[in-house]
Chains A and B, each alone.
Chain A
Amino acid sequence: MTSWLALLRPGDWGVLALGAAAVAVSFPVLWSGGKAERAVIRLDGRVVAEYPLGAPQRYTVAGPLGDTVIEIASGRARVLSDPGPRQYCVQQGWLTRPNAIAICAPNHVSLSLAGRDPGHDSLNY
């Protein structure tokens, strides 16, 4: 091992440190994907409610099958309950990333998170 380390010259260590720092910085900068800021609730494609992801609260949407309950918390949101038969949107659990979306198709309700910039949503990506 020491024979390999002996191959590194003083400047090499500087270049390695700079390279490692640049790579380390690139992860949070390029992978944060922005922060989710708002929960957007739609019924039949129309926005019925929009909340900041701050104070915990619940919102009930009356769809054709019954009530879909949306739970909003700090930095995340989920569909708490839905009258749909397969419960896909409930099982998706907490949404945390911007442009993530949970769709309760039978009840015509969707919950999506919005960040600062519109990007790919979780269906397209």
Chain B
Amino acid sequence: MTASTTEVELRVTPDDRRIARYAAAAIALTVAEAALPSPLPGVKPGLANIVVLIVLWRHGWREAAWVSLLRVLAGSLLVGQFLAPGFFLGLAGALTSLVALALAARLPRTWFGPVTASVLAAFAHIGGQLLLARLWLVPHDGVFYLVPVFGTSALVFGIVNGLIAARLLKEKQ
């Protein structure tokens, strides 16, 4: 019997399984966080980024990008936000923070720890979101009125997430 041409065999490597496990943890944090009340759309702890930071530290930027983007996609499906404005804002934030993480990963590790990566990624995240919001959702400079609020929350949650990631990396060495 000849193999069916419609049958696709997926070869799953150990790397894939690891990425899937990390992504699952990140998605769980996203869903849990969606239950928390937020004073302003966009002000969230971003706990899933702890997972992304750990993956970046242990396995490099490529795997961190996989985990981050899978988290945005699957997380939005689970909370019913897929292709809604919030999804695109989250995606823009994830992409810009991945750029920031690519830069942060090149800094010397003796001097810069996960907290630096976390804070830079958090600022990049709000930067990407605000840029998309300005270009697409609110075509007025009024959105920048919110920069101080988002900046404060990015700084605080960036530090907190970075510290948690640093602690987990240290304890599970």
> Main SS of the interface on chain B?
helix
Measured between beta carbons, the chain A residues less than 8 angstroms from B159 are 16
A19 to B24, CA, bound (A): 31
Measured between beta carbons, the chain A residues less than 8 angstroms from B113 are 7-9, 11-12
A85 within 8 A of B: no
Chain A residues with a Cβ closer than 8 Å to the other chain, count: 18
A30, B155: Cβ atoms closer than 8 Å: no
| Residues of A108-125 whose CB lies within 8 A of B | 120
B110, A16: Cβ atoms closer than 8 Å: no
Of A21-29, A49-57, A66-74, the stretch lying at the interface with chain B is A21-29
B132 within 8 A of A: no
Chain B residue with minimal CB distance to A119?
Answer: B142
Task: Render B102-129 as a binary contact track against A, CB cut-off 8 A, 1 for contact.
Answer: 0000011111111110011001000000
A8, B115: Cβ atoms closer than 8 Å: yes
Measured between beta carbons, the chain B residues less than 8 angstroms from A8 are 113, 115, 163, 166
Chain B residue with minimal CB distance to A4?
Answer: B163
A11 to B114, CA, bound (A): 11
> Main SS of the interface on chain A?
helix
B137 within 8 A of A: no
| Residues of A67-91 whose CB lies within 8 A of B | none
B136 within 8 A of A: no
Chain B residues with a Cβ closer than 8 Å to the other chain, count: 28
Measured between beta carbons, the chain A residues less than 8 angstroms from B148 are 23, 26-27, 30-31
A7 to B159, CA, bound (A): 11
A22 to B108, CA, bound (A): 23
| Residues of A7-66 whose CB lies within 8 A of B | 7-12, 15-16, 19-20, 22-23, 26-27, 30-31
Measured between beta carbons, the chain B residues less than 8 angstroms from A10 are 111
A9 to B155, CA, bound (A): 17
A9, B112: Cβ atoms closer than 8 Å: yes
Assuming the contacts A23-B152, A30-B147, A31-B148, asked whether A7 and B116 have C-beta atoms less than 8 A apart, the reply is no
A97 to B147, CA, bound (A): 20
What distance in Å separates the Cβ of B114 from its nearest Cβ neighbour in chain A?
8
User: Taking each of A10, A20, A22, A30, which has the highest tally of chain B beta carbons within 10 Å of its own beta carbon?
Assistant: A30
Partner of A7, one of B107, B111, B147, B167: B167
What distance in Å separates the Cβ of B58 from its nearest Cβ neighbour in chain A?
16
Measured between beta carbons, the chain B residues less than 8 angstroms from A11 are 107-108, 111-113, 116
Give me the 3 closest cross-chain CB pairs, A-B, nearest first. A11-B111, A7-B166, A11-B112
Known: A8-B113, A19-B123, A31-B145. 13 other contacts (CB 8 A): A4-B167, A9-B112, A9-B113, A11-B111, A12-B115, A15-B115, A16-B155, A23-B151, A23-B152, A23-B155, A27-B148, A30-B147, A31-B148
